[in-house]
């Protein structure tokens, strides 16, 4: 049985914009009265200073576009972004696209057939025998089941796998009439675009994927939604989400670590998906972490916003480039369901 090891990681970002500039030059013009004051507070307290957008509202307002037009633009923008991230990951791993046995693509912000998995496999020169898997509509936690599937393939087949998380949330700006909804204001203040690719190989030097685990509280399924509407995809985000996380996150983490004969004190790297500042506060409190433990997550939120599925991988990239790099990393991500996912990584060999 092969040990699945992360051998390469590549990131790609569209152009960046300042959060204050986004507020002053675009979003502030779409609110009035008490709603404007509320929106300004949400933007100011989002924990975001800069974020990236393939389709920036400062240049192009897509808020009234029909979904069909947004999906056409998705392929135009997502394909080069995905190529860039995959190319960097393969280069770091010292592999060619033709070496990949399984290609997993995660994206909840665009759909088309043939999809990104087929188009990128064609353009990058993957073998006709390369298997593909597309993970859609899992939202912010999709990277971890994607990582789990790729790791299981490497373990079972002894061949390299590639995971790509590619999200363009900027295409789903909602019409002005929807902005009086507090949930939409929060979404507009947080979300960003990015692509991250990860190469997993059998054995070698890197970070071994020891286990991927999850827990889903289906009684709170309505707390986080992502609905396809005539004007793009619309986010539903209940303020009760942190409360649900506080109920489940400690048990998920403790059980996973116990299976590997360690506990929270044995983890020196934390990659926690920053759904927003409150999410990080809850995880820090429930796990009894020092403020510095989530510094990489808060910095990623500050510089990149919430990019949905790639975000936890952006945090991992930041951790692995730090000095000294951690020995053991716990990754946590949350999304619709309400679902919590965890992955334990350990430096190998």
How far is residue 279's CA from residue 245's CA, in Å, rounded to a whole number? 8
Pair 210, 191 in one domain: no
Instruction: Read off the pLDDT of each residue in 198-204 and give the average, rounded to a whole number.
Output: 97
pLDDT of residue 189: 96
Pair 284, 190 in one domain: no
Domain stop point among 136, 170, 202: 202
Pair 14, 146 in one domain: yes
Instruction: Read off the pLDDT of each residue in 22-35 and give the average, rounded to a whole number.
Output: 91
Question: Residue 37 belongs to what domain range?
Answer: 4-202
Of 32-36, 90-94, 183-187, 290-294, least confident by mean pLDDT is 32-36
How far is residue 132's CA from residue 5's CA, in Å, rounded to a whole number? 19
Pair 155, 244 in one domain: no
pLDDT above 90 (res 30): no
* Residue 115 Cα distances to 133, 147, 330, angstroms: 10, 19, 31
CB 328 within 8 A of CB 336: no
CB 63 within 8 A of CB 179: no
Pair 60, 115 in one domain: yes
pLDDT above 90 (res 245): yes
Pair 188, 276 in one domain: no
pLDDT of residue 177: 63
Pair 157, 300 in one domain: no
Pair 35, 167 in one domain: yes
User: Whole-number mean pLDDT of the chain?
Assistant: 96
Domain stop point among 150, 173, 202: 202
pLDDT of residue 180: 63
pLDDT above 60 (res 236): yes
Pair 122, 25 in one domain: yes
pLDDT above 70 (res 83): yes
Pair 343, 303 in one domain: yes
Query: Which residues are annotated as catalytic?
Result: 140
CATH code at position 111: 3.40.47.10
CB 26 within 8 A of CB 280: no
Segment 120-172, tens digit of pLDDT: 999 999 999 999 999 999 999 999 999 999 999 999 999 999 999 999 999 99
Output the pTM of the full model: 0.97
pLDDT of residue 31: 85
Domain stop point among 175, 202, 229: 202
pLDDT of residue 317: 98
Three-state DSSP state, 173: coil
> 269: Cβ–Cβ under 8 A, 6 or more apart, which residues?
296, 319, 325, 326, 327, 328, 329, 330, 345
Segment 248-279, tens digit of pLDDT: 999 999 999 999 999 999 999 999 999 999 99
pLDDT above 70 (res 285): yes
pLDDT above 80 (res 1): no
Count: domains in the chain: 2
Pair 104, 65 in one domain: yes
pLDDT of residue 33: 85
Residue 50 has φ and ψ, to the nearest 5°, of -135, 150
pLDDT above 90 (res 34): no
Helix (H) or strand (E) holding 195: strand 193-202
How far is residue 18's CA from residue 86's CA, in Å, rounded to a whole number? 27
pLDDT of residue 150: 98
Q: Identify the band that residue 179 occupies on the pLDDT scale cut at 50, 70 and 90.
A: very low
Percent of the chain with pLDDT over 70: 99
Pair 39, 121 in one domain: yes
Instruction: Read off the pLDDT of each residue in 199-207 and give the average, rounded to a whole number.
Output: 97
């Amino acid at each position: 049985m092969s040990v699945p090891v992360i051998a390469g990681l590549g990131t790609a970002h569209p152009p960046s914009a300042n959060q204050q500039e986004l507020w002053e030059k675009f979003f502030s013009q779409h609110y009035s009265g008490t709603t404007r004051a509320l929106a300004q507070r949400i933007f100011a307290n989002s924990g975001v200073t800069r974020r990236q957008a393939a389709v920036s509202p400062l240049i192009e307002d897509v808020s009234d576009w029909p979904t069909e037009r947004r999906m056409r633009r998705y392929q135009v923008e997502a394909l080069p972004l995905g190529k860039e991230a995959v190319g960097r990951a393969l280069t770091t791993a010292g592999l060619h696209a033709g070496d990949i046995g399984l290609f997993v693509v995660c994206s909840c912000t665009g759909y088309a057939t043939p999809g990104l998995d087929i188009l990128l496999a064609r353009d990058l020169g993957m073998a006709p025998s390369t298997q593909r898997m597309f993970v859609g509509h899992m939202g912010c936690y999709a990277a971890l089941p994607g990582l789990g599937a790729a790791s299981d393939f490497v373990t079972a087949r002894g061949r390299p796998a590639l995971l790509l998380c590619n999200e363009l949330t900027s295409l789903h700006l909602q019409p002005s009439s929807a902005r009086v909804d507090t949930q939409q204001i929060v979404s507009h203040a947080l979300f960003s675009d990015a692509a991250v690719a990860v190469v997993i190989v059998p054995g070698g030097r890197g970070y071994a994927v020891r286990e991927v685990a999850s827990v889903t509280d289906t009684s709170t399924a309505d707390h986080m939604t992502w609905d396809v509407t005539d004007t793009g995809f619309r986010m539903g985000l209940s303020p009760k989400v942190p409360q649900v996380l506080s109920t489940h996150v400690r048990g998920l983490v403790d059980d996973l670590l116990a299976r590997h004969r360690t506990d929270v004190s044995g983890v020196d790297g934390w990659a926690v998906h920053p759904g927003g500042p409150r999410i990080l506060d809850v995880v820090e409190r429930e796990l009894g972490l020092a403020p510095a433990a989530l510094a990489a997550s808060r910095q990623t939120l500050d510089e990149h916003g919430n990019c949905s599925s790639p975000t936890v991988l952006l945090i991992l990239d930041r951790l692995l480039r730090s000095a000294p790099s951690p020995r053991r990393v716990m990754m946590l991500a949350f999304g619709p369901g309400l679902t919590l996912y965890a992955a334990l990584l350990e430096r190998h060999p």
